[in-house]
Amino acid sequence: MDNIRGLIILSNLRAKLRSAWLPLAVFALLVALCESAARLGLTDPMVLPAPTDIAANFIDGFHSGIYSRHLQVTLLQAFSGFALACVLGIGLGSLTSLSDRFGRALQPILIAVEATPKIALAPLIIVWFGYGVGSKIVLAGAIGFFPVFIGTAAGLRAAEPGRLDVLRALGASRFQVFRMVALPSAMPHIFAGINVAVVLALLGTIVGEFMGAKEGLGTLILYANGNLDTARVFSILLVLAATGLVLHWIIGALRRRLLFWDASRANAYGSAGA
C-alpha cells in the first residue's frame, strides 16, 4: 500500500514538473536577458536594475528585519480589510437573495458605488478615517467587497431549481432552503470571489499606505522611490508579488479542503490560478 502511495506521489510530482518547466524556462530567460542588458550598460540602472541587485536588496531587506516588520503591518491591515469585505459581501449578497425587495432597493446604490473607482475614494477615506490603520482597512474592504458580493449573489441565484422545489414541497422554510441547498451550491462562486478579493485587499492596503502612513510596504516603496533606489523598489514589489501568490495558494488550498465534493470546479479553479 505504501509503495502504491509513493508511486502516486511520484507520478503527481513528475506531472507538476512537466507542466512547470516551460514557465520556469521563460522566467529564467527573461532574468538572464535583463542581467545581461544591465551588465553591458544597455539599460539605465535607475530604470531597470540588474536582477542580482534586486536579489541583493531582497535578501538585505529580510536579513535586516525591515521587510518583515513592514510586511506584518501591511498583512494585518490587508487581512482586516479582507475580513470586512467577506462579512459585508457574503452578508449583503445573501440578503439580496433572500429578499427580492431588499435587492431591488439596494441595487441602484450598489451600481453607483461599483461604477466609482475605489482608488479615487482613497483621499476621502483618509479624511474620514485619518492616517491610521482604520483608513487602510476601510479602503482594502471597499476594494475587495464587490468580488465577494457578486460571487455570493450569482452563486445563490445559480442553485438548481429542482432541488429548491423539492424542499419547498416538503414544507421547508426560506431559511432552511437557503442553508441546505442555496448556500452549499453557491460556495464555489463565493470562493472564486474571495480569491479575487484577497489580492484586491492587499492592493487597497498598499494604495492606502501611499496616501499616508508611517509603516507598511507601501511606505517603503515611497521612501525608496524618493531616494531613486529603483532596485529597492523592485525588491519590495517582489515581496508583494510573492505575498499575493501565497495568499492565492492559501485560498485555493482552503477551497479544496472545504469543497472536496466539487472536484470538477476545483480543477477549473486550479487552472485559472495557474
* The 3-state secondary structure of 11-65, one letter per residue: HHHHHHHHHHHHHHHHHHHHHHHHHHHHHCCCCCCCCCCCHHHHHHHHHHHHHHC
What is the overall mean pLDDT for the chain?
81
Confidence tier at 103 by pLDDT (50, 70, 90): confident
Residue 215 has pLDDT above 90, yes or no: no
Percent of the chain with pLDDT strictly greater than 70: 80
Q: What is the pLDDT of residue 107?
A: 76
Q: What is the pLDDT of residue 243?
A: 93
Residue 232 has pLDDT above 50, yes or no: yes
Q: What is the pLDDT of residue 128?
A: 87
Q: Which CATH entry fits the domain spanning 50-273: 2.40.128.20, 1.20.120.1200, 1.10.3720.10, 3.20.20.70?
A: 1.10.3720.10
Give the lowest-confidence range in 26-40, 120-134, 177-191, 255-269. 255-269
Higher pLDDT, 172 or 73: 73
Residue 176 has pLDDT above 80, yes or no: no
CA dihedral 19, 34, 241, 214 (to 10 degrees): 170
Higher pLDDT, 94 or 158: 94
Long-range CB contacts (< 8 A, 24+ apart) of 116-124? 118/142, 118/143, 118/204, 119/143, 119/207, 122/207, 122/208, 122/211, 123/211
Q: What is the CA angle 59-63-67, rounded to 5? A: 80
Q: What is the pLDDT of residue 195?
A: 92
Round to whole Å and give the CA distance between 102 and 95.
7
Question: For residue range 130-168, what is the model confidence (pLDDT) as tens digits?
Answer: 888 888 999 999 999 999 998 888 888 776 766 666 666
Round to whole Å and give the CA distance between 100 and 103.
5
From the list 24, 256, 261, the residue with the least C-alpha distance to 269 is 256
Q: What is the pLDDT of residue 162?
A: 65
DSSP string, 109-149: HHHHHHHS-GGGGHHHHHHHH-SSHHHHHHHHHHHHHHHHH
Q: What is the pLDDT of residue 220?
A: 92
Domain ranges, ordered by start, for the chain: 1-43, 50-273
Q: What is the pLDDT of residue 269?
A: 45
Written as nine digits, the cell of 158 is 445559480
Higher pLDDT, 271 or 161: 161
| Residues 6 or more apart whose Cβ sits within 8 Å of residue 71 | 217, 239, 243
Secondary structure element (H or E) that encloses residue 228, with its range: none
Confidence tier at 272 by pLDDT (50, 70, 90): very low
- Assess contact for 147 and 92: CB atoms under 8 A: no
Give the lowest-confidence range in 40-44, 83-87, 184-188. 40-44
Q: What is the pLDDT of residue 261?
A: 67
